[in-house]
Amino acid sequence: MQAVTYRAFGPAREVLSLETLDVPPLAAGEVRVALSFSGVNPSDVKARAGARAGVSELPFPTIIPHSDGAGVICEVAEDVDPARLGQRVWIWNGQWQRAFGTAATEICLPQEQAVPLPEGISLETGAVLGIPGLTACHAVFSAGDVAGKTVLVQGGAGTVGYLAVQLAKWAGAHVIATCSASARERVAAAGADAVLSYDADDLSAQILAANGGRPVDLIVEVEFGLNAAIDAEVIAPNGRITAYGSAKMIQPSLPFYPLMFKAVTLEMALIYLLPTSSRQAAITRLHRALTEGGLSVPIAEVLPMDQAAKAHEAVEKGGRSGAVLLQTS
């Protein structure tokens, strides 16, 4: 099979290569997926660069990166229902604690990690559902329905934030989002009722004003460290903050008492470790939103496998208007 690999941490152009590897054998309970697209996420480029917290050595001698992807099941193990052959599927945790991810023409993995893609949903969309889709869905719905509530999405222009805006609006929430000035029209078009500049000096006051002077029920947070003080000001008593990132301040100062005296629930969401029930709930909601037309997944760029370094650099640069994919077939 053809695969993008790396054998050392470093810049994408120095360590990524395209090569031919032996096709791995199927283990019990596994399926083989002929991949069409591989999703490139910030976690993938950090892993390749050696920039993930607590990781100082390459975990495997040879790594095929990327956890997200989509394709068609082309082989099943003896203990897997043969009716799964030919299913269009999307992948989650393709390279989480595994050496071989989705930046390849094929992947073998436990059958539950290959989720049947709803009818009419493209494989390109499927390749974005694993990390961005599940993160956005869990962040919005981890405490249940949001109909009639106010959801603040900090960072509504990023892939996760953009999906979270759509999901919250689809579910009947009043949605406030923050982003850069250049992305305001795009985020508003995604369904946000109010779009505010993330760097406004009076952002807390603007958030409250956008909700009729009332605090917000739920915050979906991309930069917890930078926004913790603002979040503490605008969150409602018994509200919830679901944070999935804090890249710009990795050791944040926690406004403990302002949060405690509102009895705020703070959740650190790591989509790789979702319990089975929570993951299945997120998958079910994602599929409903997609089939009901409540969710559109933007794709910024699709590149061939021999341009994997360019794909990684595009993700590292930021400021994208959608996901970056590798075409693997």
Q: CA triplet 275, 278, 279: central angle to 5 degrees?
A: 80
CB under 8 Å to 283, separation ≥6 — which residues? 115, 134
pLDDT at 71 over 90: yes
Under 8 Å between Cβ of 35 and 329? yes
Under 8 Å between Cβ of 210 and 230? no
Under 8 Å between Cβ of 170 and 294? yes
| Across 110-116, average pLDDT | 98
Q: What per-residue confidence (pLDDT) applies to 55?
A: 79
- Condensed to tens digits (0 to 9), the pLDDT of residues 114-153 reads 999 999 999 999 999 999 999 999 999 999 999 999 999 9
pLDDT at 54 over 90: no
Closest among 117, 105, 162, 171 to 136, alpha carbons compared = 162
Q: What per-residue confidence (pLDDT) applies to 49?
A: 95
276-291 vs 159-170: helix axis angle to the nearest 10?
A: 70
Q: What per-residue confidence (pLDDT) applies to 56?
A: 77
Backbone φ, ψ for residue 328 (5° rounding): -110, 0
Q: What per-residue confidence (pLDDT) applies to 318?
A: 86
- d(CA 105, CA 156) in angstroms, rounded, equals 33
Helices and strands of the chain, counted as H and E runs: 11, 15
pLDDT at 51 over 90: no
- Condensed to tens digits (0 to 9), the pLDDT of residues 230-260 reads 999 999 999 999 999 999 999 999 999 999 9
CATH architecture of 132-272: Alpha-Beta Complex (3.90)
- d(CA 53, CA 30) in angstroms, rounded, equals 30
DSSP, res 145: -
- Condensed to tens digits (0 to 9), the pLDDT of residues 256-287 reads 999 999 999 999 999 999 999 999 999 999 99
Kindly compute the dihedral angle of the four CA atoms of residues 312, 313, 315, 321, in this order, to the nearest 10 degrees. Answer: -130
- d(CA 67, CA 128) in angstroms, rounded, equals 10
Q: Where in the chain is the domain with CATH 3.90.180.10?
A: 2-128+297-327, 132-272
pLDDT band of residue 315 (cuts 50, 70, 90) is: very high
- Condensed to tens digits (0 to 9), the pLDDT of residues 159-199 reads 999 999 999 999 999 999 999 999 999 999 999 999 999 99
**316 is written with which tokens?**
């590292």
Q: What per-residue confidence (pLDDT) applies to 100?
A: 97
Beta bridge partner(s), residue 63? 6
Q: What is the CA radius of gyration of the chain?
A: 20
Q: CA triplet 269, 272, 274: central angle to 5 degrees?
A: 65
Containing 195, the helix (H) or strand (E) segment is strand 194-197
Alpha carbons within 13 angstroms on the beta-carbon side of residue 270 total: 5
Q: What per-residue confidence (pLDDT) applies to 310?
A: 98
Domain 2-128+297-327 fold: Quinone Oxidoreductase; Chain A, domain 1 (3.90.180)
| Across 63-79, average pLDDT | 98
- d(CA 129, CA 283) in angstroms, rounded, equals 9
Q: What per-residue confidence (pLDDT) applies to 122?
A: 98
Q: What per-residue confidence (pLDDT) applies to 52?
A: 79
pLDDT at 224 over 90: yes
pLDDT, averaged across the chain: 97
Q: How far apart are the first and last CA of the chain?
A: 11
pLDDT band of residue 292 (cuts 50, 70, 90) is: very high
- Condensed to tens digits (0 to 9), the pLDDT of residues 1-27 reads 999 999 999 999 999 999 999 999 999
